[in-house]
Structure 1
Amino acid sequence: MGAVETSGNLDRMLVEQRAIIDSISDGLLVVDEDGRVRHMNAPAGRILTLNPEQSVGRRFAELLDFEPIIAPIFRTGIGYYDRELIIDSGRRHLHLIDTAIPIKDAQGKVQSVVNTFREFNRAKRIAQQIAGSPVRYTFDDIIGTSDCLRQAIGDARKAALGTANILLNGPSGSGKEVFAQAIHAHGDRRDAPFIAVNCAALPRELIESELFGYVAGSFTGAQKGGRPGKFEMASGGTIFLDEITEMPLDLQAKLLRVLQEREVTRIGALRPIPVDVRVIAASNRNLKDAIARREFRDDLYYRLHVVSIAIPALKDRRSDIPMLATHFLRKYAANAGKPIFTIAEPALRSMAEYDWPGNVRELENTLERLVVLSDGTEIQCFDPPGDARPPTPRPAMPLALKSLREHERDVIAATLVHVDHNVTKAAEILGIARPTLYSKIRDYGIALQRAGESKPS
Structure 2
Amino acid sequence: MQISKGGWVHRLLVDSKDKQTILQRDLELYKVALENAYEGIVISDANGTILTVSQTYASFLKTSISDMLGKHVTEVIPNTRLHIVAKTGKAEIADLQQIHGHWMIASRIPIRSEGELIAVVGKIMFQDIDKLFVMNSKYREIKDHLHYAEGKEYESPGVKYSFNHIIGESESIEKLKLLAYKVAKSSSTVVLSGESGTGKELFAHAIHRESGRRLGPFVPVNCAAIPEALFESELFGYKEGSFTGAKRTGKKGKFALAHKGTIFLDEVSEIPLTQQVKLLRVLQEKELEPVGGDRPEAIDVRVIAATNRDLRKLMLEGKFRQDLYYRLNVVAIMIPPLRERQNDIPVILNDLLRQLREETGIQADGIEAEAEKLLIAYSWPGNVREMRNVLERALYVMDGTWIGKADLPAELWEDSSKHNRRDNSLKEQLESFEEQLIREKLVHTNGDKQETARQLGISRSSLYQKLEKYEGIINKPV
Q: TM-score, normalised by structure 2?
A: 0.55
Q: Is structure 2 residue 296 aligned with structure 1 residue 272?
A: yes
SS in 1 for 2:314: helix
Matched ranges for 1:57-136 at <5 A: 126-128=152-154, 130=155, 132-136=156-160
Bigger share in helix: 2
Indicate conservation of the 8 Å contact 1:329/1:341, yes or no.
Answer: no
Q: Is structure 2 residue 282 aligned with structure 1 residue 258?
A: yes
Q: Is structure 2 residue 308 aligned with structure 1 residue 281?
A: no
> Deviations 1:232-290 (Å, cap 9, x if unpaired)?
00000000000001001121101110011111100111111111000000110001110
**2:385 corresponds to which of 357, 361, 383:** 361
Indicate conservation of the 8 Å contact 2:213/2:261, yes or no.
Answer: yes
Q: Which range is displaced more, 353-362 or 219-228?
A: 219-228
**1:185 corresponds to which of 209, 231, 234:** 209
| Structure 2 counterpart of 1:221 | 245
Q: Which amino acid aligns with 2:314?
A: A
Matched ranges for 1:237-386 at <5 A: 237-381=261-405, 382-385=408-411
Indicate conservation of the 8 Å contact 2:219/2:262, yes or no.
Answer: yes
Q: Which amino acid aligns with 1:308?
A: A
Aligned partners of 1:291, 1:123: CA distance in 2, in Å?
A: 47
Indicate conservation of the 8 Å contact 2:220/2:266, yes or no.
Answer: yes
Q: Which amino acid aligns with 1:204?
A: E
Aligned partners of 1:125, 1:319: CA distance in 2, in Å?
A: 48
Indicate conservation of the 8 Å contact 1:355/1:388, yes or no.
Answer: yes
SS in 2 for 1:127: coil
Q: Which amino acid aligns with 1:166?
A: V
**2:415 corresponds to which of 388, 396, 414:** 388
Indicate conservation of the 8 Å contact 2:364/2:403, yes or no.
Answer: no
Indicate conservation of the 8 Å contact 2:364/2:395, yes or no.
Answer: no
Q: Which amino acid aligns with 1:227?
A: K
Aligned partners of 1:180, 1:319: CA distance in 2, in Å?
A: 24
Fraction of identical pairs, as percent: 46
Indicate conservation of the 8 Å contact 1:124/1:233, yes or no.
Answer: no
Q: Which amino acid aligns with 1:263?
A: E
**Structure 1 residue 373 displacement after superposition:** 2.2
Matched ranges for 1:169-180 at <5 A: 169-180=193-204
Q: Which amino acid aligns with 2:298?
A: P
> Deviations 1:285-334 (Å, cap 9, x if unpaired)?
00111011111011111111111111111111111111111111121122
Indicate conservation of the 8 Å contact 1:241/1:282, yes or no.
Answer: yes
Q: Which amino acid aligns with 1:389?
A: S
| Structure 2 counterpart of 1:196 | 220
Matched ranges for 1:14-25 at <5 A: none
Q: Which range is displaced more, 174-183 or 368-377?
A: 368-377
Q: Which amino acid aligns with 2:229?
A: E
SS in 1 for 2:169: coil
Aligned partners of 2:271, 2:149: CA distance in 1, in Å?
A: 29
Indicate conservation of the 8 Å contact 1:334/1:340, yes or no.
Answer: no
**Structure 1 residue 336 displacement after superposition:** 2.0
Q: Is structure 2 residue 176 aligned with structure 1 residue 152?
A: yes
| Higher alpha-carbon Rg | 2
Aligned partners of 1:225, 1:350: CA distance in 2, in Å?
A: 57
**Structure 1 residue 159 displacement after superposition:** 0.3
| Structure 2 counterpart of 1:439 | none
**Structure 1 residue 375 displacement after superposition:** 3.0
> Deviations 1:114-164 (Å, cap 9, x if unpaired)?
xxxxxxx97998233x2x344110001110011111111111000000111
SS in 2 for 1:200: helix
**Structure 1 residue 389 displacement after superposition:** 3.4
Q: Which amino acid aligns with 2:415?
A: A
Indicate conservation of the 8 Å contact 2:398/2:404, yes or no.
Answer: no
Aligned partners of 2:317, 2:157: CA distance in 1, in Å?
A: 33
SS in 2 for 1:185: helix
Unaligned stretches of 5+ residues in structure 2:
1-146, 423-478
> Deviations 1:86-141 (Å, cap 9, x if unpaired)?
xxxxxxxxxxxxxxxxxxxxxxxxxxxxxxxxxxx97998233x2x3441100011
Indicate conservation of the 8 Å contact 1:196/1:239, yes or no.
Answer: yes
> Deviations 1:179-204 (Å, cap 9, x if unpaired)?
00000000111110000001011122
C-alpha root-mean-square deviation of aligned residues, in Å? 2.0
| Structure 2 counterpart of 1:105 | none
Aligned partners of 1:328, 1:178: CA distance in 2, in Å?
A: 14
SS in 2 for 1:355: coil
Q: Which range is displaced more, 203-212 or 226-235?
A: 203-212
SS in 2 for 1:219: coil
Q: TM-score, normalised by structure 1?
A: 0.57
Aligned partners of 1:393, 1:189: CA distance in 2, in Å?
A: 52
| Structure 2 counterpart of 1:164 | 188
Aligned partners of 2:410, 2:377: CA distance in 1, in Å?
A: 9
Unaligned stretches of 5+ residues in structure 1:
1-120, 395-457
